[in-house]
Amino acid sequence: MEGEDSRPPDRPADPEVLLELNFVPTWARRPPGVNPYVSVEERRDIERRPPRTSRSRRVAPPAERPVRPTETQQAPPPLQVSFIPEKERLGRVVKKIHATRKAYPLLQLAELFLSNPENYLVKIELEPGADPDRKLLQCRKCGAVYLDQLTFNSHVIARHMEDLFEIVEEEGEVPEGTYTCVGRCRLSGVLLGPPNYHGFEDRVREVHRSRFPDLPLEEYRRQIEIVRDPELVEQWKQESRRVRRYRPKNREGSAELLSRTEAEARILREYAPHLVREVRKAIVRPQIIQQMADGPVKDLVREVWRRESRHPFTLVLALRPAFRHMGLHIFSIRRGEAFATPIKPEPLDPAEAVVSIREVLQFLRDHPGCTRGELLKGLRPQADPSSPEAQEILSPLRWLIDRGHVIEFFDGRLAVPTSGRQPSFSRRATRQRRDG
């Protein structure tokens, strides 16, 4: 019985910190861009789509993909998909938050993780009510996940043939017979051979599996054109002299050479059973999902990404306990927006503080969302920021921040926590004060 949980293979550490905690206002954020899990058909539509002119500024709502008459609507698989922060990137972000001693919005932190596939992992699990005997099939080599043995086998052949076999090219004889046409792949330009050649079907399957595993085989067949050109027929004959053979790896001294068909049969018989891991929950790197053939698992990940790109709900849920475990504190302001901070907010009644602290605390209560400069200007309007007079204000402020009696946000705004554990902060009041 295989383990119930499976994490992706380890990878070398990236020395660069890609998650910079520099946020921009909501109105200035860039859209998430093209879905990284876009299907082959959608990708082609995007590539064929003409650039939008300056006149067509209004963006029409996306049209639903028309269903072909031959297609049938299948019920979604009994899966739950969520995104979780990558452990190493999470540690770097938490370390930076601790160093700055500021409060950062949880939603935008989640958006930063989602902005780069290197920053998060995809968790795929069977729903709680799913058949207890049902399992996900995960590849031990790369972590790809499939629902059935057939698609798993196709994955192993398409993605891991060269991991299992050494490819040897040999010179053979020119194909005998008279041929007047040749099949050519429109997508790659590869010559597949005459349709009446005995090796035509094997060649079609080989090119399909090695180059276009995302496409259903029948759809790939529609991309084959028959060309009547003597020069191309002769070119195919010369290319066909180079025969590819497959020698199994990890078998010292073996001189065994197999055809493509024999190699695929060997994979299904000897290798695939040892490469599959049966699990109910798998954690997969986004790059692996992107490389998987289109199917129900990838379709569901694509749909969840669309939702998360609008509001990263599952990432926010994952960040909350992770941040708490790593020494951060989560609080919400009155509008419900959540923030992460390394300093626990602790309300302090100004009446219980000494005069120098009371002065700063009371000003911040009366002017929520102000900056250090505005605080200094309000209490010591004539003081130079480096003067001793200014330090009479800034020194108590540092003490208040270190004790959690004042919260400093990522953008320099200041607020005081109330007895309800929520800082007294209003953007409307801040905007009215600045505009006035």
The pLDDT mean for the chain works out to 82
- The DSSP code sequence of 346-383 is ----GGGS-HHHHHHHHHHHHSTT--HHHHHHHH-TT-
Residue 5 in any domain: the answer is no
Residue 253 in any domain: the answer is yes
Number of domains the chain is built from: 2
User: In the structure encoding, which two tokens stand for residue 112, read together?
Assistant: 């930063």
pLDDT tops 50 at residue 54: no
Task: Please give the model's pTM, rounded to 2 decimal places.
Answer: 0.73
pLDDT tops 70 at residue 265: yes
**Among the three residues 248, 267, 286, which one is the final residue of a domain in this structure?**
267
Percent of the chain beyond pLDDT 70? 78
pLDDT tops 50 at residue 53: no
Residue 411 in any domain: the answer is yes
| Cα separation, 358 vs 345, whole angstroms | 17
Which of 30-44, 57-71, 195-209 ranks highest by mean pLDDT?
195-209
Provide Rg for the chain, Cα atoms. Answer: 31
Sign of the torsion formed by the C-alpha atoms of 25, 27, 32 and 34: negative
Question: For 323-344, what is each residue's pLDDT tens digit?
Answer: 999 999 999 887 778 999 999 9
The number of residues in the chain equals 436
Question: For 359-390, what is each residue's pLDDT tens digit?
Answer: 898 899 899 889 989 998 888 988 888 888 88
Domain that holds residue 397: 343-435
**Among the three residues 221, 239, 267, which one is the final residue of a domain in this structure?**
267
Residue 431 in any domain: the answer is yes
> What's residue 385's pLDDT?
81
Amino acid at 221: R
The three-state secondary structure class of 334 is coil
pLDDT tops 80 at residue 23: no
pLDDT tops 80 at residue 46: no
> What's residue 32's pLDDT?
52
Residue 129 in any domain: the answer is no
CATH number of the domain encompassing residue 406: 1.10.10
> What's residue 386's pLDDT?
82
Query: Across residues 114-142, what is the average pLDDT?
Result: 93
Residue 365 in any domain: the answer is yes
Query: Across residues 166-174, what is the average pLDDT?
Result: 85
Query: Across residues 111-125, what is the average pLDDT?
Result: 94
* Torsion on CA atoms 73, 75, 80, 84, rounded to nearest 10: -10
> What's residue 67's pLDDT?
41
> What's residue 423's pLDDT?
59
> What's residue 13's pLDDT?
39
**Among the three residues 242, 267, 292, which one is the final residue of a domain in this structure?**
267
Residue 277 in any domain: the answer is no
263 touches 165 (CB < 8 A)? yes
424 touches 418 (CB < 8 A)? yes
Percent of the chain beyond pLDDT 90? 49
Query: Across residues 56-77, what is the average pLDDT?
Result: 48
243 touches 170 (CB < 8 A)? yes
Question: Confidence band (pLDDT; 50, 70, 90) for 280?
Answer: very high
Question: For 287-319, what is each residue's pLDDT tens digit?
Answer: 999 989 888 999 999 999 999 999 999 999 999
Question: Confidence band (pLDDT; 50, 70, 90) for 194?
Answer: very high
Question: Confidence band (pLDDT; 50, 70, 90) for 244?
Answer: confident
pLDDT tops 80 at residue 69: no
> What's residue 71's pLDDT?
45
Residue 125 in any domain: the answer is no
